[in-house]
Amino acid sequence: MSDLPTGIAPEIHRRLAVDLNQLTWRLLEKAEPTPDEAEEMLQAAYASCYHWRQVGTALEQARGHWLISRVCAVLTRPEGALHHARRCLEICEGEGYGDFDLAYAFEAVARAAASAGHAAECRQWRELARQAGDAIQDPEDRQLFLSDLQSDPWFGTL
């Protein structure tokens, strides 16, 4: 958490984090976002992560980095995708998060590698993600993850 006073109440940070996350997802679900929508999507993902940083736990921060990585991958911005995927994985491993969140961290690294055109690295991380996904305890979470793992974009790396 930052030491700078923001003047924003914690409940406002939380509401903004959630609303910006949902906006990011609405834009991600568009088949072909316009250039303005793509920029808004990226800005919303970063802003959501910022607000979670103010009031959330390491888990929300990991998920925020995951979301930024996904947006960067979808927009074919591999440097950002790789940076935020690795940050997500670093937080998950450092905090001992497993199951659902670790599977998604592996998926983020795989997808970021794919967006960078690193096919072999993508396949290695994707296999780790699949194995972690198979081990997710909750059946609904497991199905959601495995479905996401099958979804594009994989940039022809598979």
pLDDT more than 90, % of the chain: 94
Instruction: Note the pLDDT tens digit of each residue in 21-38.
Output: 999 999 999 989 999 999
Instruction: Inform me whether the pLDDT recorded for 1 exceeds 80.
Output: no
Buried b (16+ CB within 10 A) or exposed e, 123-158: bebbebbbebbeebeeeebbeebeeebeeeebbebe
CB atoms within 10 A of CB 21: 20
Non-local CB neighbours of 136 within 8 Å, separated by 6+ positions: 99, 100, 103, 142, 145
Distance, CA of 73 to CA of 82 (rounded, Å):
8
Instruction: Note the pLDDT tens digit of each residue in 118-147.
Output: 999 999 999 999 999 999 999 999 999 999
Q: Are 133 and 103 in contact (CB under 8 A)?
A: yes
Instruction: Inform me whether the pLDDT recorded for 7 exceeds 90.
Output: no
Which pLDDT value is given to residue 158? 86
Instruction: Note the pLDDT tens digit of each residue in 36-86.
Output: 999 999 999 999 999 999 999 999 999 999 999 999 999 999 999 999 999
| Lookup result for tokens 């670790």 | 102
Which pLDDT value is given to residue 2? 52
Which of these, 63, 53, 153, lies nearest to 112 by C-alpha position?
Answer: 153
Average pLDDT, rounded, for the chain:
95
Terminal Cα-to-Cα distance of the chain (whole angstroms): 39
DSSP 153: P
